[in-house]
A and B are shown apart, each in its own frame.
Chain A
């Protein structure tokens, strides 16, 4: 080869060009990830607050405030134990519990042997990708205005679909109101149609999650976790033991 030796630029290019494209790529990837994460967090945060947006600040009879649990018998004397029940309308184990202990719980409330406090949760909607728990809970709160909260929840459990995740149709939810003997069905229908307790249902579910409850049914007697094994007498005995 003759002529002037040309300075070899290709080696220099090879050394710098990849470096530049690598760091450029890294910056692009980092930026895309950052944007995607921010979008996901914003979407997640707004969808969870959207569900608590509707319905204003109305709360049903039996709840002390927006998102407060349902006190079935507010007239219970302060001396009796407090029975907290955390339940999700779509939870099969809750239906089983209601079948075995539902009547006993209602009786505890009726006779004021315990102050019965129900916390509705709706995380199974997220789990099963539907909105059935929220709709059933709203139906129950509309029934609560007419003193039929527990009856409505029991009707929901009896009418739970064979296959978890199917949920309920609007006529089914209305049939539950009828079998719960809600006195004024028109009022109940209007309450459901207006989604009057949408915000309340969302706030109640969030409050229960914030209490650290993430499975249903969860029972607490005077704040202590109560485990029932399926014997109907267990509940009455536990309440008796907790009564001072």
Chain B
């Protein structure tokens, strides 16, 4: 196996992990958009109405970016959007933690205030940082194996 092929396969793995996580996160939330709006409001970062709109829109955007990444379609652009999304989550979660809020990140549905002992900020943050890096890798080297990009 050549070095190029190895990097292509690594890219495929990162693409599937990043895309898979984003796709699942969106799919779990899209059936309860009201809950998604509540989860965004719990961060107390955006004005009430704007937080609602973000909550309604986010699951759909996630599903689309996730699908594109899984399929390997417009990989560089979707990886960039996916990485920016993850970066936004990292900032949101870190800021909630820093402000002493006890919230569930609402990443996969749920969300809102929870008991201080139930928070999982280190886990949520390290997961999202890792996914941001996966996206950044794909932006730098978007060519991956088994991608639809090669077929159209």
Contacts and interface: CB of A to CB of B under 8 A. Distances in A.
Interface in A93-135: 123, 126-127, 129
B152 A41 contact: no
Interface centre among B32, B34, B55, B103, by most chain A C-beta atoms within 10 angstroms, is: B34
A29 B64 contact: yes
Interface string B108-126: 0000111000000000000
Contact of A41 (B32, B38, B48, B53): B53
Interface stretch (A20-28, A59-67, A139-147, A234-242): A20-28
Interface of B: 32-35, 37-38, 41-42, 44, 48, 52-53, 55-57, 59-61, 64, 68, 73-74, 103, 112-114, 152
A1 interface: no
A214 B61 contact: no
B38 A44 contact: no
A40 interface: yes
Interface in A181-218: 209-210, 212, 214-215
Contact of B38 (A21, A25, A47, A214): A214
Nearest to A30: B64
B56 A44 contact: yes
A215 B114 CA distance: 8
23 contacts: A22-B152, A25-B73, A29-B64, A29-B68, A33-B61, A36-B60, A40-B60, A41-B53, A43-B33, A44-B33, A45-B53, A45-B56, A48-B34, A48-B37, A126-B32, A127-B38, A127-B112, A209-B48, A214-B42, A214-B113, A215-B112, A215-B113, A215-B114
Contacts of B57: 37, 40-41
A209 B55 CA distance: 15
A2 interface: no
Contact of B53 (A44, A127, A210): A44
Contacts of A212: 44
Given A40-B57, A41-B56, A126-B32, A214 B64 contact: no
Contact of A33 (B42, B60, B113): B60
Contacts, number: 67
Contacts of B34: 44, 47-48, 126
Given A18-B152, A36-B60, A127-B112, 8 more contacts: A25-B152, A29-B64, A41-B56, A48-B34, A127-B35, A214-B42, A214-B113, A215-B112
A123 B33 contact: no
Contacts of B48: 209-210
A126 B38 CA distance: 8
A86 B73 CA distance: 48
Nearest to B113: A215
Given A29-B68, A44-B37, A214 B112 contact: yes
Nearest to A21: B152
Contacts of A37: 56-57, 60-61
Nearest to A17: B152
Nearest to B51: A209
B60 A44 contact: no
A33 B77 CA distance: 15
B41 A209 contact: yes
Contacts of A127: 35, 38, 112
Contacts of B113: 214-215
